[in-house]
């Protein structure tokens, strides 16, 4: 047999056969939920009952947040301009950035690096906040333009505690929140991105999957927004804040 140049461990297909990580797809369809199957493709094994409940909550938490987030505005603008649904979904996904949704990856990277260091979480959090402040770096995953207390964060942490996932990363995340408040005198609450970053880190996920969780969840909401825009609004309508003042140069010749 010749050695294949390209190997994959995700799905084995053949005529009449589709096996995800070794499990026949029809058995997954019969016995497992969508969230459990996503966990399987991403992590390689089926989740335990606790992992399944936690993962389900993570996916639900980011499903939608109204019309104002950049990804939804991007998606609605794209369909409003006359693009097909797939282009509008892509426009929405491309509007996810380091600050919107992308903070999961950045925060998880930082938490995973710092949680490996020796020392109590409280001391590490203090060092991290001092270090970031001296470099004028912003800690991703903290602060929200609307919520002082985000119900998604509370629920994720409550479930993580009940299901016994609270480990070094969640502890560090909570200590960072306290250290940030002590340093700045302002409460910068852990936002949903920060909470997901901490929970997926305690669940053993690689931080590089961070944006993936947000995309998986928010795509459902975006499709609903795209469909609503498409079917109930006139094309090319004014979307976004129209209260805009021009502050550039006065009218001039070339
Ligand atoms: C979201 O879930 O998209 C939001 O938390 C972002 C925002 O500020 O609307």
Atom of ligand 1 at shortest range from CA of 145: 8
pTM recorded for the entire structure? 0.92
Q: Which range among 1-5, 86-90, 136-140, 188-192 shows the weakest confidence by mean pLDDT?
A: 1-5
* Distance (Å) from CA 106 to ligand 1 centroid: 16
Query: DSSP assignment of the chain, as one string?
Result: -PPPS---SSEEEETTEEEETTEEHHHHHHH--HHHHHHHHHHSS---HHHHHHHHHHHHHTS---S-SHHHHHHHHHHHTT--HHHHHHHHHHT-BTTTBTHHHHHHHHHHHHHTSSS-HHHHHHHHHHHHHHTT---TTB--SS-SS-HHHHHHHHHHHHTT---HHHHHHHHHHHHHHHHHSS---B-HHHHHHHHHHHTT--GGGHHHHHHHHHHHHHHHHHHHHHHHS-TT---S-------SPPP---
pLDDT digits (tens, 9 = 90+) for 169-197: 999 999 999 999 999 999 899 999 999 99
Q: Whose CA is nearest to atom 7 of ligand 1?
A: 69
CATH number of the structural domain 103-208: 1.10.230.10
Q: Is the pLDDT assigned to residue 118 strictly greater than 90?
A: yes
Per-residue model confidence (pLDDT) at position 1: 57
Average pLDDT in the 152-177 region?
96
* Distance (Å) from CA 129 to ligand 1 centroid: 24
Query: Domain coordinates of the chain in residue numbers?
Result: 103-208
């Amino acid at each position: 047999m010749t050695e294949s140049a390209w190997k994959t461990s995700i799905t084995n297909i053949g005529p009449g056969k589709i096996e995800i990580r070794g499990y026949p797809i029809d058995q997954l369809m019969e016995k497992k939920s969508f969230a459990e199957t996503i966990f399987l493709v991403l992590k390689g094994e089926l989740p335990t009952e606790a992992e399944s409940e936690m993962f389900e909550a993570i996916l639900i938490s980011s499903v939608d947040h109204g019309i104002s987030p950049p990804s939804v505005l991007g998606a609605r603008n794209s369909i409003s301009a006359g693009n097909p649904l797939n282009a509008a979904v892509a426009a929405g996904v491309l509007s996810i950035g380091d600050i919107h949704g992308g903070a999961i990856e950045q925060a998880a990277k930082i938490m995973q690096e710092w949680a490996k260091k020796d020392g109590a979480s409280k001391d590490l959090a203090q060092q991290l906040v001092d270090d970031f402040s001296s470099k004028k770096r912003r800690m991703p995953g903290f602060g929200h333009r609307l919520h002082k207390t985000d119900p998604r964060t509370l629920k994720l942490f409550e479930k993580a505690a009940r299901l016994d996932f609270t480990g070094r990363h969640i502890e560090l995340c909570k200590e960072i929140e306290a250290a940030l408040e002590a340093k700045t005198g302002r409460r910068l609450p852990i936002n949903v991105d920060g909470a997901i970053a901490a929970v997926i880190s305690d669940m053993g996920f690689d931080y590089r999957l961070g944006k993936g969780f947000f995309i998986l969840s928010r795509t459902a909401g975006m499709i609903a927004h795209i469909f609503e825009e498409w079917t109930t609004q006139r094309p090319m309508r004014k979307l976004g804040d129209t209260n805009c003042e021009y502050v550039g140069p006065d009218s001039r010749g070339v």
